[in-house]
Amino acid sequence: MPNKTQLTTAAQRVGNVHFEGLLRKEGVIRRGVGENYDDVLGFNYIAHEQQGGCYEFYAANPPLIGMTEPVPCPCPLGLETFDEYRIDYKEAVRLFHSGNWGNMFTSITLSRPLVHPQTREPFWHIRSNLGIDVVIDANSGEIHANT
């Protein structure tokens, strides 16, 4: 699992908490617009703990270091907890650039929304600088765009 270290470290900082998985992972982008994965400085995480509560924290991407203290937060509605996926943010950005949706992105988020029918896997949601929403399945790599 790509985020196991962040979840373990966050749980240790809180103490007596075990995170069962993520609800959302939202990228912090250098200057608000990114051209490649190096522009994603880190992620704001919302993790779900076994007792039913949620915590949020920020963790920097290497080579940057650092993590904020996890703090309790309201659990976002409409999201399912997940703990595994194969496509990391670097690969998601590479797949984003495989289409003609714009040369830059303004947001990148990983989540698993509860929809009907239920989603099979978490997905990356990337918004291009042209306002096009690109969805990349985080296990299969299948790409969907609202062109």
Overall average pLDDT of the 1-11 stretch:
79
Residue 108, beta-bridge partner list: 126
User: On the CB side of 44, how many CA atoms lie within 13 Å of its CA?
Assistant: 10
Overall average pLDDT of the 4-17 stretch:
87
- Residues with Cβ within 8 Å of 67's Cβ and at least 6 positions away in sequence, in order, are 6, 9, 10, 13, 57, 58, 59, 60
Question: What's the pLDDT tens digit per position in 30-56?
Answer: 999 999 999 999 999 999 998 889 999
Residue that wins the pLDDT comparison between 1 and 7: 7
Q: Is the pLDDT of residue 85 over 90?
A: yes
Q: Is the pLDDT of residue 103 over 60?
A: yes
Q: Is the peptide bond before 122 cis (omega within 30 degrees of 0)?
A: no
- Structural domain tally of the chain? 1
* Residue 116 pLDDT grade (very low, low, confident, very high; cuts 50, 70, 90): low
Phi, psi of 34 (to 5 degrees): -120, 145
* Residue 2 pLDDT grade (very low, low, confident, very high; cuts 50, 70, 90): low
Q: Is the pLDDT of residue 119 over 80?
A: no
Phi, psi of 33 (to 5 degrees): -145, 135
Rounded Cα gap, residues 72 and 35, in angstroms: 33
Q: Show the domain range for 36.
A: 4-145
Rounded Cα gap, residues 22 and 121, in angstroms: 13
- The pTM of the full predicted model, rounded to 2 decimals, is 0.92
